[in-house]
Structure 1
Amino acid sequence: MDGCIFLTTVTIVNEYRTARVAEVLSDFRTLQYYIAAAPTDPVETEDYHLDGYAALRQCALDGQHILNCAADTTVPQTSGGEEEQRKAELKQVLLDAYARRHEAQKIYLRQAAAQTWIQNRGQVLQGGRPSSSNRRQLRACDEQLRNELAQITDEMVYSELQVSDISLGRWTAEDPSMRAVQRWRRSRPRTI
């Protein structure tokens, strides 16, 4: 009898795991759409190497990388039967999806900071070009961008996503730790 209860519990929890993977993958897909839609090049070619545009181009490259890097499909063999094996597979898929969503959120936040920089810079320039009269304001825009980018840490992103998931009433009992996400990222061929 206890074996039946255990299998039923594992089966039910595996349904939660499956739903969680679907939620996280949906979030990742949405973030990828926003990342791909962001502009990367300035209207004025001489602005190409400015910090905000460089950040946007790097975000586009990082977004493409996170989409293209191979999933880790290695799952240890379990001795507990089919449902236990499914549990192990779902946990591995969740880690991959969760880490990709984490990285995509980080990229998206960096893009948002760079787009704010573009707007602030446009307000300073008001259709004109940089000059000695607006140099100080433009440097302030650059400094604000650097500060915002520095605040986008793994810890901040992880916490923000965790709070969002909980507020949406999502099942988060087996979400990967931040360390697991960082290990996943280090295992990718290129540092993001």
Structure 2
Amino acid sequence: MADGLNEYRTSRVAEVLSDFRTLQYYIAAAPVSPADMDDYYTEGWAALRQCAIDGQHILNCAADITVPRTTGGPEEQAKAELKQVHLDAYARRHEGQKIYLRQAAAQRWVEWREQILMGGRPHSGNQSQLRACDQQLRAELATITDETIFQELLASDLNMNRWTDEDPSLRAVQRWVRARRR
């Protein structure tokens, strides 16, 4: 009954967990508060704070350790457990990538806003530019979808010649995420 792929499964889980760990470092390193507290509630800074909260949540949410018992012996049981851990790691990486991309968009917004303000404060002369900056942030955030992230991560994995034969589907990832939001 054993298919001999548990070594590949173990390596794949390690790769995905390593990716997730790297994403967590980037997420944790992003700023969450502006130098000028008058900007605290602006769109970009609010997005950065939400990303920090989401990053902490995805790190802290419990793993699903309910693995069904198999009848095929220790190798089959190990396979079932590895598949469960794989889904958990894969979904966390997916969510981490989404958070990281949202943070990057918000950090670009901060840079654009600083360029517009040039060390000054918002006033009637720069309101249209600031609105355009906010609209650009909203547009960028709207492009960060589960589907695009899933495809980009898959393309990256394939480009690195990683074993992806048993990677979870997008639906499985979305189910995992929904279960953690309860």
The TM-score normalised by the length of structure 2 is 0.98
Q: Return the offset for 1:121.
A: 0.6
Q: Which residue of 2 aligns with 1:145?
A: 137
2:26 matched to 1:25? no
4+ residue segments displaced more than 6 Å: none
Q: Which residue of 2 aligns with 1:41?
A: 33
Q: Return the offset for 1:22.
A: 0.1
Q: Which residue of 1 aligns with 2:59?
A: 67
2:164 matched to 1:172? yes
Cα RMSD between the aligned structures? Answer: 0.8
2:92 matched to 1:82? no
Q: Which residue of 1 aligns with 2:114?
A: 122
Code of the aligned partner of 2:87: L
Map 1:107-118; keep pairs closer than 5 Å. Answer: 107-118=99-110
Q: Deviations over 1:11-70 (max 9, x none)?
A: 3x1100000000000000000000000000001111000000000000000000000000
Gaps of 5+ in 2: none
Q: Secondary structure at the match of 1:21?
A: helix
Code of the aligned partner of 1:87: K
Q: Return the offset for 1:189.
A: 4.0
Rounded to whole Å, the distance in 2 between the matches of 1:85 and 1:170 is: 24
Rounded to whole Å, the distance in 2 between the matches of 1:53 and 1:128 is: 17
Q: Which residue of 2 aligns with 1:56?
A: 48
Q: Deviations over 1:58-116 (max 9, x none)?
A: 00000000000000001011111111111110000000000000000000000000000
Q: Secondary structure at the match of 1:187?
A: helix
Rounded to whole Å, the distance in 1 between the matches of 2:108 and 2:160 is: 27
Rounded to whole Å, the distance in 2 between the matches of 1:153 and 1:177 is: 15
Q: Which residue of 2 aligns with 1:157?
A: 149
Q: Secondary structure at the match of 2:70?
A: coil
Rounded to whole Å, the distance in 2 between the matches of 1:124 and 1:56 is: 19
Gaps of 5+ in 1: 1-5
Structure number, greater radius of gyration: 1
Q: How many equivalent pairs are there?
A: 182
Q: Which residue of 2 aligns with 1:3?
A: none
The TM-score normalised by the length of structure 1 is 0.93
